[in-house]
Amino acid sequence: MYDPERGYPAVVPCVLYDDLTAVSGWLTEVLGFREVVRAALPDGWVGHIEVERDGFIILLGRRGGPLGDTSSLTQVYVDDVAAACERATSAGGSILDEPAGRPWGVLQAVVADPQGQRWVLTRHVRDTDPADWYGRTLGPVPG
């Protein structure tokens, strides 16, 4: 899971909302997406949903938190997250979240380009069981 070498998209738009369940329902009903991953805490709070259509993934995330009023960002898989961060800052960007391992088996950092758009630089590190991070797979996920 989350491995571009096995078919997970190398570029994934991440759109941030207050009510992920509602927007997932809308995307399913109106645009023909299907929900493939959902991460919800035991109390029902949903923090992450992935929807898929024709091999294309959109990640739905929670608005707020460390990203403030950001409404979207784009996840891009790279071979070396630290080197990509260095290139980003050398080219006038800034690091908003230093490279760190995530429970879902990736190394990630968040950078802003010179005009303020946010990019999640990601590298697949290992496969994980979604249950380990309160996720569950609802259908086949590319990669």
Confidence at residue 47, expressed as pLDDT on a 0 to 100 scale: 87
Q: Contact, 24 vs 59, CB < 8 A?
A: no
- Please give the Cα distance from 86 to 91 (Å, whole number): 9
Q: Which of 85, 88, 128 is nearest to 106 (CA)?
A: 128
Where in the chain are all domains bearing CATH 3.10.180.10?
A: 71-134
How confident is the prediction for the chain on average, in pLDDT? Answer: 89
Confidence at residue 14, expressed as pLDDT on a 0 to 100 scale: 93
Distance of CA 96 to the CA centre of its chain: 15
Which residue shows structure tokens 């997406």? Answer: 33
Q: What is the pLDDT of residues 64-104, one digit of tens each?
A: 877 777 888 999 999 999 999 999 999 999 999 999 998 88
Q: Which of 18, 25, 26, 73 is nearest to 46 (CA)?
A: 18
Specify the CATH class of 1-70 in words.
alpha beta
- Weakest-pLDDT range from 27-36, 95-104, 125-134: 125-134
Residues ≥6 apart with Cβ < 8 Å to 95: 85, 88, 89, 109, 110, 111
Strand order in 106-112's β-sheet?
Answer: 94-102, 106-112, 118-124, 72-77, 11-17, 56-62, 46-53, 34-40, 135-137
Residue 143 has pLDDT above 80, yes or no: no
CATH fold, domain 71-134, is 2,3-Dihydroxybiphenyl 1,2-Dioxygenase; domain 1 (3.10.180)
